[in-house]
């Protein structure tokens, strides 16, 4: 069954929405700074899932006159927005709340409501993580990724498929930090540990945002297709030796499932134009059949320069989109 980032995102959004409300209520009642920080964390995660769903929806729009290669890269833009929201809205606010509570400590209320919320949140986050990992592993098998989960995230061209996993791992780490901070605060009767835990949660969110932002930066600037895609393209080209010598093979990732391929081909000058045209059409059809993610192909057909025809100019490029 094909991987679906939408399932993971919707599941995470619903879980985080319920968890955020509960954390804010209990944090307000018990005066726990770390619980407020956790509420901010869950609220930010809810908004992030909504933004990723928006990005996925907009990236699937078909090509038009203003965007002839489609809107696939819009997903990368919204993923970068998510990274900024996590950095400022999640990490920044959690650190601010922690610092404020550290310098202006408050007496904590009962411990058990906080533990109850942490336990319930851990269950919901665990379920969300299980859903996210199931879709992530399906995506890994579908796209034939190898290596660790982090290596797959680094090589993936679809941030939506791993954002949920990243958020849930950070959420579970935050819950563990919150539990430890609350315990030390009560056992040692020192609310500073509650504030420190809030700061640590903020740092976890900052690390998450930096990782996501770094990955999105590369995709927005422009990355080549995965090596496995390049290999499949080369295999398809090898089946058409009549086309001539490939002097240039470049790719650009235009979206999770959209690649532009640019071929520079040096053909035999003795080859007739109609024969060359048939060979080119056969090559393009073979590449599209073998590698469905290659949506746009540009073939630059050139004969070796001679005294009669002179050098090939850029205006002779033959596009196929």
**What is the reported pTM?**
0.79
pLDDT of residue 308: 37
Please tell me the total count of domains within the chain: 2
Split at pLDDT 50, 70, 90, the class of 313 is very low
Q: Look at residues 221, 256, 275 and tell me which one is the last residue of a structural domain.
A: 221
Q: Give the distance, in angstroms, between the CA of residue 170 and the centroid of all CA atoms in the same chain.
A: 15
Mean pLDDT across the stretch 190-207? 91
Same domain membership, residue 210 and residue 238: no
Q: Look at residues 180, 203, 221 and tell me which one is the last residue of a structural domain.
A: 221
Q: Which domain holds residue 11?
A: 5-221
How many whole angstroms separate alpha carbon 132 and alpha carbon 4?
9
Q: Look at residues 155, 188, 221 and tell me which one is the last residue of a structural domain.
A: 221
Of 293, 281, 212, 214, nearest to 251 (Cα)? 293
pLDDT of residue 23: 86
Same domain membership, residue 188 and residue 252: no
Instruction: Report whether 37 contacts 80 (CB < 8 A).
Output: no
Same domain membership, residue 267 and residue 208: no
Interior angle at CA 99, CA 97 and CA 105, nearest 5: 90
Same domain membership, residue 58 and residue 201: yes
How many whole angstroms separate alpha carbon 282 and alpha carbon 243?
9
Token pair in block for residue 143: 């796209």
Tens digits of residue pLDDT in 20-64: 888 888 888 888 888 888 888 888 888 888 888 898 889 889 888
CATH number for the domain including 167?
A: 1.20.1510.10
> H/E element holding 262?
strand 258-266
Same domain membership, residue 281 and residue 134: no
pLDDT of residue 210: 92
Same domain membership, residue 198 and residue 89: yes
Same domain membership, residue 255 and residue 188: no
Tens digits of residue pLDDT in 73-99: 999 999 999 999 998 888 888 899 889
Instruction: Report whether 262 contacts 298 (CB < 8 A).
Output: yes
How many whole angstroms separate alpha carbon 90 and alpha carbon 203?
9
Same domain membership, residue 234 and residue 214: no
208 pLDDT more than 60:
yes
- Answer left, alpha or beta for residue 83, where phi above 0 means left and psi between -120 and 50 means alpha: alpha
Same domain membership, residue 127 and residue 30: yes
109 pLDDT more than 80:
no
Same domain membership, residue 282 and residue 168: no
């Amino acid at each position: 069954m094909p991987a679906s980032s939408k399932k993971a995102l919707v599941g995470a959004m619903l879980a985080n929405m319920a968890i955020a409300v509960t954390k804010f209520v209990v944090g307000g009642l018990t005066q726990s700074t770390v619980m407020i920080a956790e509420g901010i964390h869950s609220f930010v995660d809810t908004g992030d899932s909504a933004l990723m769903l928006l990005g996925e929806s907009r990236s699937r729009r078909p090509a038009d006159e203003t965007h002839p290669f489609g809107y696939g890269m819009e997903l990368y833009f919204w993923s970068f927005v998510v990274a900024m929201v996590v950095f400022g809205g999640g990490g920044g606010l959690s650190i601010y709340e922690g610092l404020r509570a550290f310098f202006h400590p408050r007496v904590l209320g009962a411990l058990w409501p906080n533990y109850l919320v942490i336990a319930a949140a851990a269950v919901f986050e665990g379920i969300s993580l299980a859903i996210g990992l199931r879709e992530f592993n399906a995506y890994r098998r579908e796209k034939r990724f190898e290596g660790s989960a982090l290596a797959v995230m680094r090589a993936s061209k679809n941030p939506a498929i791993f954002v949920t996993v990243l958020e849930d791992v950070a959420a579970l780490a935050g819950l563990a930090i919150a539990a430890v901070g609350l315990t030390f605060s009560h056992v040692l009767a020192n609310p500073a540990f509650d504030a420190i835990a809030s700061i640590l949660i903020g740092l976890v969110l900052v690390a998450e945002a930096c990782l996501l932002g770094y990955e999105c930066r590369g995709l927005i600037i422009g990355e080549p297709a995965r090596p496995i895609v390049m290999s499949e393209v080369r295999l398809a080209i090898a089946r058409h030796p009549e086309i001539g010598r490939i002097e240039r093979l470049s790719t650009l990732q235009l979206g999770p499932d959209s690649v532009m391929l640019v071929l520079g081909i040096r053909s035999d000058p003795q080859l007739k134009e109609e024969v060359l045209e048939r060979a080119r059409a056969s090559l393009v059809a073979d590449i599209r059949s073998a590698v469905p993610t290659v949506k746009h192909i540009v073939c630059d057909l050139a004969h070796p320069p001679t005294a009669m025809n002179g050098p090939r100019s850029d205006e002779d490029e033959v596009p196929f989109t």
